[in-house]
Amino acid sequence: DAGVTQSPTHLIKTRGQQVTLRCSPKSGHDTVSWYQQALGQGPQFIFQYYEEEERQRGNFPDRFSGHQFPNYSSELNVNALLLGDSALYLCASSRGLRDRGNTDTQYFGPGTRLTVL
């Protein structure tokens, strides 16, 4: 049973560039959440996708956008990169709104380390 996968593992970009990060959810999961973790801090919620729509969003600017595909995989896009966007970006998957029989435990991927120079 494949867990949550993310690509790439590491990425280096320069200020002003755009980046796309990818996530494939755990088998059987249809909801994807994205988190940003700056060095030395806990992860912060960016947004969540279910049924190809953004369902909930944290306190992040519009430079951060996402997409979910019919196969439940997801992308996180960040435009006009700033030095402060350097962080570990985490994807978590869970079973979505249709599943009322269980708590929606979120399972995390290994993350993508983004460095902005």
Partner 1 sequence: DAKTTQPTSMDCAEGRAANLPCNHSTISGNEYVYWYRQIHSQGPQYIIHGLKNNETNEMASLIITEDRKSSTLILPHATLRDTAVYYCIVRSYSSASKIIFGSGTRLSIRP
Binding site for partner 1 (CB under 8 A): 4, 31, 33, 35, 41-45, 48, 50, 55-56, 58, 88, 90, 92, 94-97, 99, 103-111, 113
Q: How far is the CB of 110 from partner 1 (least distance, A)?
A: 5
Tell me how far, at minimum, the Cβ of 78 lies from partner 1, in Å: 19
Half-sphere CA count of 95, side-chain side, radius 13 A: 10
Whole-number Å distance between alpha carbons of 79 and 75: 13
Residue 116: other Cβ atoms inside 10 A: 19
Find the shortest distance in angstroms from Cβ 16 to partner 1.
26
Q: Which is nearer to partner 1, 18 or 51 (CB)?
A: 51
Beta strands in 28-73 (DSSP E): 31-37, 44-50, 53-57, 64-68
